[in-house]
Copies of this chain bind each other. A is one copy, B any other.
Amino acid sequence: MRLKKKERQDILIKTIEENPFITDEELSKNLCVSIQTIRLDRLELAIPEVRERIKNVASQSYDDSVRTLALEEIIGEIIDINLDQSAISIFEVANEHVFKRSLIARGHYLFAQANSLCVALINAETALTARANVQYIRPVKINERVVAKAKVLEKENTKGRTIVEVESYVGNDLVFLGEFQMHRSN
């Protein structure tokens, strides 16, 4: 019966994972054991009670709403930056970034990574994008890591714009190329 217990607990974990709102009573019915067994299992597996689980989901989403905004600020994680010179960011393509059918990243995410890298790069009160010219060289798939490298070509051209070139790679493959004209104020 040891296997059976292990098996049940595995199912228990998965069930709760995919539906944290389930009560012990429902679980006991699903798994055809007494409610006490479920509680022993939760005790062994250190799984909190329904209300705690729900509270966790809720408070996590509360934090997330902040985190989401913060994430949207900059698409990709900036790992190196030399103001007005160069910068590098990494962006991991997850399932929310891809077309469901093809699992290829939506173009605007690569754009967003490059664009927000340019914004971060500009050493000014506010930096706005004036123009952008981008090329998608190779489709980027889910789970790939895109490394974007930005380089300032002209710090201030005749129109007062900063020209930034961005090259994005997956491994050694160049996947995206962009030239951004940034406007700086103050």
Contact = CB atoms under 8 A, between A and B. Distances in A.
B59 A21 contact: yes
Interface stretch (A29-37, A83-91, A133-141, A148-156): A133-141
Given A96-B68, A116-B108, A126-B102, A60 B61 contact: yes
Interface of A: 20-21, 51, 54-55, 57-62, 64, 68-69, 72, 75, 95-97, 99, 101-102, 104, 106-108, 111-112, 115-116, 119, 125-126, 128-136, 139
Contacts of A139: 128
A75 B130 contact: no
Contacts of A107: 115, 119, 128-129, 132
Contacts of A54: 51, 54-55, 58
Nearest to A55: B54
Contacts of A136: 128-131
A83 to B, nearest CB: 17
Given A21-B59, A54-B54, 11 more contacts: A55-B58, A57-B58, A99-B126, A101-B125, A102-B126, A107-B119, A112-B112, A131-B133, A131-B135, A132-B132, A133-B134
